[in-house]
Structure 1
Amino acid sequence: MSGMIVDCAVYRDGQRTEGPADFSDALDAARADGDAFVWIGLHEPTSEELDLVASEFGLHPLAVEDALTAAHQRPKLEVYPESLFTVVKTAGYHAAERAVEVGEVLVFIGDAFAITVRHGAVSPLASLRKDLEAQPDLLRHGPAAVLYGVCDRVVDDYLDLAATLQGDLDELEAEVFAPGRSRGVAERIYGFKRQVVAFRRGTAPLQEPATRLVRADVPYVQEGLRPYLRDVLDHLTKVNELVDGLDRLLSDILSANLAQVSVQQNDDMRKISAWAALAAVPTLIAGIYGMNFDHMPELHEVWGYPAAVALMVGVCAVLHRFFKRAGWL
């Protein structure tokens, strides 16, 4: 069991205190104190491990099932008789692959307890715990302070990721409109759009749970914590606006790239048509003179052949000048 428990601590009056090593005893001690709570951090627990925690803390079976199948969950907020269950998507940037990396954090808060279940390598919560422990006034708000801390950290990561994606998009936009752009630009735009869609799956659905958390009808959230949650909601709204802007700009860039390709193809077709017309003239004249008529004019004249060649060259020169001025060549 200790392998999946990252940390277990009891907090009294906003301060971390020494408590029982067993999480069940720690919960009893926190409830007996009346002004304390226990925070347990889990990382990718197995079904048996999470069932043991669920039985001790009275977690709802549906929430436990969601916590086990984390890869398929959308950000959401669910209220159960004994707990408040929240799912948030974490997102980071894999610089080497230029790809968005997604994980999940699931938070249970209830009477004198907070449980965080993390899936994936994105946004480890060890540093978050240290940051919250440095803010005892915030931890005095109880278990909901942990939920606020998780949401605040995740949304701050969203802002950093949005800024990174904006920088990459600026580079891609410059490449699309560069005179000698490289091949495969459309594939890069499409791949970038997929990264934005993956990012959006975490940010957009979180808007509704974040809005609910600032309302007074959500249990286990103290009134003094709601201004902090409103700040998270404001930042999340900004993130969603940024993601919408990225998505729209990507669509515009893709349309512009397709238009450029279409124009280039039309230009290539004009050049091919022009050269085909230039080749057709001597072919036509040579074909006529190659029919070997006995009574055809100029066949038996000394100047007949030079005249035919001169006619070919002259007509081709006129056509070349015409196509050049028209922009086809």
Structure 2
Amino acid sequence: MLHAYVTTSPGLARLGQQSPTDPRPDLERAIWVDLYRPLDSQVAAVVALGVDVPSLADMEEIEISNRLYREEGTDVMTVVLPGHLPDGRQIAGPVSFILNGRRLVTVRHHEPRSFATYPERAARTTPGCRSPERIFLGLVEEIVARLADLLEGVGRGLDTVSARVLGEAGPAELKASLGEVGRLGELLGQIRLALLTLERALSFYDQTLAGHAQGHELRPIAKALMRDIAALAVHNDFLSSRVSLSVDATLGMINLQQNNTVRILSVVAALFLPPTLIASAYGMNFPNMPELRQSWGYPFALALMLASAVGTWAFFKWKKWL
């Protein structure tokens, strides 16, 4: 899928659907071209503009030299952002920003929500959208805001889980809470990776602003975004510690419930131990057992077993073990 945008007085306007046979006339006007799971024809159309489009395998390379580099005046920056696949699964996937003096090209194979919300908000972002560089910084600002929203959502989720775990939650609820905490922890890991790669990309971009005509205007914006990212990283670490605490609390509650079950079984076993001992003694087939020949022998054995059980129960109550 290919989305192309031009700058208008209100902000960004999306160009019409590109013709499969000749998509270049509209693309020549575009200031931002967004490639989402692009077809070969769409990649070829962007390549015809003089922009090399990396493949998914290239974008997934973890070497920093493959993710951040400048080639013939074009900056290529690849970051890892949380988003969704077409089937709805949440993943952290690579997104490439290809920036030159004429346009910004983004390449992605999943759907970070920021790319859907940014075009309508482009004019209201701090950098604006008058140039490719400002669109890049505005898009990063939208991504940072989205990551902040995700962190707030994780915080609210942890509040809900903590209230449930520390309340009167049953085994099924505790199991569900443990799964929810695991999902939130995985999302935090994706957000932390996004913040790390964004910080690297902005640091790389900041170094290229020295010879840029708008460098004195764009550098404060880039610096402010890096400060925001650093603050979100601290918040992410705080929420990670809360995830660990929630996991420990959930496992502790599960252990307490299991201990209560084992405690009941232990008490029942202890109550039946003396009667079992008495029954075992009278089950011995020795010739000299006077009680076996008495009419009161059977009731006496039953009464003795009952008394031993009651005595054991009274002893446990006296020790406050029950």
TM-score range, shorter chain: 0.7 to 0.9
Could you say which residue in structure 2 is the equivalent of 1:57? 50
Residues 251-294 of structure 1 show CA distances to partners (whole Å, capped at 9, x for unaligned) of: 22212222333333333333322211221221221222233444
Residues 16-39 of structure 1 show CA distances to partners (whole Å, capped at 9, x for unaligned) of: 9x9x97157548xxxxxxxxxx33
Please state if 1:43 is matched with 2:43. no
Distance 1:153 1:325, change over 3 A: farther
Distance in 2 (CA, whole Å) between partners of 1:113 and 1:300 is: 108
Contact 1:78–1:86 at 8 Å: present in 2 too? yes
Could you say which residue in structure 2 is the equivalent of 1:290? 283
Distance 1:139 1:118, change over 3 A: same
Contact 1:101–1:122 at 8 Å: present in 2 too? no
Q: 1:78 aligns with which of 53, 61, 69?
A: 69
Please state if 1:111 is matched with 2:101. yes
Contact 2:59–2:78 at 8 Å: present in 1 too? no
Distance in 2 (CA, whole Å) between partners of 1:104 and 1:11 is: 29
TM-score (norm 1): 0.76
Q: 2:268 aligns with which of 265, 275, 279?
A: 275
- Matched to 2:4, the amino acid is D
- Matched to 1:161, the amino acid is L
Q: 2:155 aligns with which of 160, 163, 166?
A: 166
SS of the residue corresponding to residue 260 of structure 2 reads helix
Distance 1:288 1:202, change over 3 A: same
Could you say which residue in structure 2 is the equivalent of 1:197? 189
SS of the residue corresponding to residue 113 of structure 2 reads coil
- Matched to 2:310, the amino acid is A
Deviation at 1:224, TM superposition (A): 1.0
Q: 2:199 aligns with which of 207, 231, 250?
A: 207
Distance in 2 (CA, whole Å) between partners of 1:305 and 1:311 is: 10
Deviation at 1:83, TM superposition (A): 0.4
Unaligned 5+ segments in structure 1 are 28-37
Could you say which residue in structure 1 is the equivalent of 2:20? none
Distance 1:133 1:269, change over 3 A: closer
Distance 1:150 1:325, change over 3 A: farther
Which range moves more in the overlay, 144-153 or 259-268?
259-268
Please state if 1:264 is matched with 2:285. no
Distance in 1 (CA, whole Å) between partners of 2:319 and 2:109 is: 63
Q: 1:22 aligns with which of 11, 21, 25?
A: 25
| Structural mapping, 1:206-285, within 5 Å | 206-215=198-207, 222-285=215-278
Distance 1:208 1:25, change over 3 A: closer
Deviation at 1:154, TM superposition (A): 0.5
SS of the residue corresponding to residue 85 of structure 1 reads strand
Identity of aligned residues (%): 24
Could you say which residue in structure 2 is the equivalent of 1:31? none
Could you say which residue in structure 2 is the equivalent of 1:128? 118
Distance in 2 (CA, whole Å) between partners of 1:242 and 1:136 is: 23
Unaligned 5+ segments in structure 2 are 16-22
Q: 2:78 aligns with which of 80, 87, 91?
A: 87
RMSD over aligned Cα atoms: 3.7
- Matched to 2:155, the amino acid is Q
